[in-house]
Amino acid sequence: MVCLGNICRSPLAEGILKKKINSASAELNTQVESAGTSSYHVGEGADHRSVDIARKHQVNIGLHKSRQFVTADFDRFDKIYAMDKSNYRNIMNRARNESDRSKVEMILNVVEPGKDNDVPDPYYSGNNGFEYVYQMLDEACNIITDEIKENNIK
Ligand code: 4NP
């Protein structure tokens, strides 16, 4: 899960997806992490507004620590979800080959394929912005969890 600062959107997406995967099955052997395309907030915890919204929905992201996206993430993960078009471009600029590029997807395209909708950056918004982002990510993560379940059944 990748956004700009790795303190608002992608830590929420990481926490939501982890919770859904854990409650779907203890046997889904899936590694979920998040990162930011920028280095602005490296080492910091999640924004307190994301922590609060997550807690309201029984998702704990209190231990999150921001890190920057690195090229090696293409080797460690099968899917890389970008929160917005700017993040998407920055990730694609780091891709080394077609295999890397094929892993990158706009997260809201799992809900509405091909629309390239952004998860809006809530950093300068009020608490309503964070609830809105939470609901978008919750819907996307339901679909991603179903996809992971299908891929684990094989
Ligand atoms: P995020 O939000 O990308 O969802 O973590 C932001 C966090 C920090 C900044 C921008 C967006 N910033 O400009 O510092």
What is the number of structural domains in the chain? 1
> Cα 106 from chain centroid?
10
> pLDDT tens track of the chain, all 154 residues?
999 999 999 999 999 999 999 988 777 779 999 999 999 999 999 999 999 999 999 999 999 999 999 999 999 999 999 999 999 999 999 999 999 999 999 999 999 999 999 999 999 988 789 999 999 999 999 999 999 999 875 4
Say what the pTM is.
0.96
Between 127-153 and 48-56, two packed helices, what is the crossing angle to 10 degrees? 60
Q: Which of 3, 84, 118, 141 is catalytic?
A: 3
Atom index in ligand 1 nearest the CA of residue 87 equals 3
Which CATH number covers residue 146? 3.40.50.2300
Ligand 1 site residues, Cβ closer than 6 angstroms: 3-9, 36, 40-41, 121, 123
Helical H segments across the chain, by residue range? 9-24, 48-56, 73-76, 85-94, 98-102, 127-153
141 is catalytic: no
8 is catalytic: no
User: Which domain covers residue 69, as residue numbers?
Assistant: 2-151
- CA–centroid distance, 121 to ligand 1, in Å, is 7
106-138: pLDDT as tens digits:
999 999 999 999 999 999 988 789 999 999 999
